[in-house]
A and B are shown apart, each in its own frame.
Chain A
């Protein structure tokens, strides 16, 4: 189910915006400017940075034979961050600070990039073994600033 979003954690206006964008992509159209403007309105500068990450093909969906999946995003600094596929979590410091501590932002740019790449279907795909996926999930916690 491409583009399925965890409805429980995204405010409905954001979920709606993303699904409208997905519909546009499905029809083969480019994303209307008004959607991009709405994105910028809701997410501020993160929107531009996230779109940039998508353009650069920085998001990879990693899956294993078990069916479990996780995302990795190559940040602009060259560091790789891990984002969970089922709920909002990113190992980057901005997530810990702006989203969790300050509640300033809904998403960090990496999580937003993951959503956008789902909508625009521009995710890289990588298959790993079950054991390798365990290691990826275990080490994500260790990302330091």
Chain B
């Protein structure tokens, strides 16, 4: 769902060629980051963005209920949008597998976006390669089924967030490469040098050959508010960084 993430990250550029793509789901996206980053907030922002599009509901899968709803950028906690986000909390890999395998049994409108937070926790239970591939493939298959139910002109997007280890071993690298087979579009979140009282990330979106690579700076204020600005093209030109107030130290 690279397009949704791109729209979340560049609300000001939502007009123009991307208008035609509003109904298209785009390729499945893997959101990769280290610990303690804002992946949940980004996923939630994508959920809100899609919920506001007037299509189907959003299905947000996570192991534990969110402690607090992340504050987003711009059009945020509109009740109508929130009502369209359905949270489910599969507590184990087995429950997640059951949820995905039985997704076609559920009646009601098909979701227009499927989100999974914390894939690494589910993989940790069953770290084999075939198990990882099966989980990834089932996620794709479930989103594909929802897309067919939605019908032409729509589709169900898929964004999965995965926390990676900094000091992973070769087994982790192999598992990641297996997952990357199933998710052609990826967005890497890397911590940026933190300013005082501010948590910043560099978000690098690689749409898997279906669009240009793009980067943004995602900053979280102490009150939880998230702001997004384009990443400066040249490191030596801090004056072009409009949003960030903490100077151009890099």
Contact = CB atoms under 8 A, between A and B. Distances in A.
B197 to A, nearest CB: 42
Contact of A87 (B101, B130, B131, B141): B141
Contacts of B208: 8
A121 B139 CA distance: 27
A11 interface: no
Contacts of B149: 66-67
Interface in A69-127: 84-89, 91, 95-96, 100-101
Interface in B22-46: 27
B102 interface: yes
Contacts, number: 75
B105 interface: yes
Interface of A: 8-9, 64, 66-68, 84-89, 91, 95-96, 100-101, 130-131, 133-134, 137-138, 140-141
Nearest to A89: B137
B148 interface: yes
Given A8-B27, A9-B181, A131 B105 contact: yes
23 contacts: A8-B184, A8-B208, A67-B104, A67-B145, A68-B141, A84-B137, A84-B140, A85-B141, A87-B137, A87-B141, A87-B144, A87-B182, A88-B137, A88-B181, A89-B134, A89-B137, A100-B178, A100-B181, A130-B105, A137-B100, A137-B101, A138-B97, A140-B134
Contacts of A130: 104-105
Interface string B164-195: 00000000001000100110100000000000
Contact of B97 (A85, A101, A141): A141
B228 to A, nearest CB: 27
A117 B105 CA distance: 27
Interface of B: 27, 97-98, 100-105, 129-131, 133-134, 137-138, 140-141, 144-145, 148-149, 174, 178, 181-182, 184, 208
A133 B140 contact: no
B130 A96 contact: yes
A129 to B, nearest CB: 9
Contacts of B102: 134
A66 B104 contact: yes
Contacts of B105: 66, 130-131, 134
A95 B132 CA distance: 13
Nearest to A85: B141
Contacts of A137: 100-101, 138
Contacts of A85: 141, 144
Nearest to B174: A101
